[in-house]
Amino acid sequence: VQVPTTLLSQVDSSVGGKTAINHPLGKNMIGAFYQPQAVLADLDTLDTLPDRELSAGMAEVIKYALLGDADFLQWLEANMAALMARDKALLAQAVLHCCQMKAAIVAQDETEQGARALLNLGHTFGHAIEAEMGYGNWLHGEAVAAGCVLACLLSERLGSLKTEDTARVRALMRQAKLPDAPPVFAFERWLAHMRHDKKVESGTMRFVTLSALGRAVLTPLDDVQILRDALQPFISD
């Protein structure tokens, strides 16, 4: 039985059976799939969370909206202030909706051979941020928030997302008191971390990008220049 006590674990990591540990080369690199008999999420535990932890969990909530539910995205935009004020009824709706979305995807693809990879929206960039900055200096949700913004910027470069869509995502991240931009470091460091991502296939990096807000796709990317262009504001000399 799994009993998640943070918003992040209630909406994401408690569902799906992943059990993994970090490695210096990357996040969640060593592990297995082992499903619990039940997951018990008690929203009263969220009252114990520091505001920063609540925000970190909200990053994963926003991620679900971005990857698969434009209506949920609008709902979050309308209700974010109340969610951050810990409105229990609204938090219950958000947690339930995210769990339903993840359960439906995991039921199709338990071991992440296809559709489940879309749940990694923002995580290729996010894991790079965590590895570069040191695990814990950026909370996982904070890194995912910045990673989702970078996924939007990459999608812009690929011609599949509008600039105003990215601006909308950044505004929502700010509403949730999350970073809307990553830290700055050398492109070679970005690249080194992302080449260790679990979605790399036959040497080709694969990113979860957006064809629209609420619609994610898995995109192979061989052209490193496109990646450099997307990351340019966040690359040190």
Q: What is the pLDDT of residues 194-210, one digit of tens each?
A: 999 989 998 999 999 99
Quote the CA–CA distance of 29 and 137 in Å, as a whole number. Answer: 19
Paired with 185 in beta bridges are 235
Ordered by where they begin, the domains of the chain are 50-234 (1.20.1090.10)
What 3-state DSSP class applies to 132?
helix
Q: What is the pLDDT of residues 116-174, one digit of tens each?
A: 999 999 999 999 999 999 988 999 999 999 999 999 999 999 999 999 999 999 999 99
Residue 169 near residue 179, CB atoms below 8 Å: no
Quote the CA–CA distance of 167 and 152 in Å, as a whole number. Answer: 9
What 3-state DSSP class applies to 204?
strand
Is the pLDDT at 27 greater than 80? The verdict is no
Mean pLDDT along residues 166-189: 98
DSSP codes joined into one string, 104-149:
HHHHH-TTSSSGGGGGGTTHHHHHHHHHHH-BTTB-HHHHHHHHHH
Q: What is the pLDDT of residue 109?
A: 84
Residue 207 near residue 156, CB atoms below 8 Å: no
Q: Is the dihedral of CA 19, 23, 27, 30 positive or negative?
A: negative
pLDDT bucket at 111, cuts 50 / 70 / 90? confident
Quote the CA–CA distance of 42 and 75 in Å, as a whole number. Answer: 23
Q: pTM to 2 decimals?
A: 0.94
DSSP codes joined into one string, 52-102:
HHHHHHHHHHHHHHHHH-HHHHHHHHHHHHHHHTT-HHHHHHHHHHHHHHH
Quote the CA–CA distance of 96 and 227 in Å, as a whole number. Answer: 35
Alpha-carbon distance values, 183 to 61, 79, 102, 131, 231 (Å): 22, 28, 29, 12, 11
Is the pLDDT at 57 greater than 90? The verdict is yes
pLDDT bucket at 43, cuts 50 / 70 / 90? very high
Average pLDDT, whole number, for the chain? 95
Task: List the end-to-end C-alpha distance of the chain, in Å, as a whole number.
Answer: 49
Structure tokens at 19: 């059990």
Is the pLDDT at 86 greater than 90? The verdict is yes
Share of the chain above pLDDT 90, in %: 84
Q: In sequence order, which ranges of 158-235 are alpha helices (DSSP H)?
A: 163-175, 187-194, 224-231
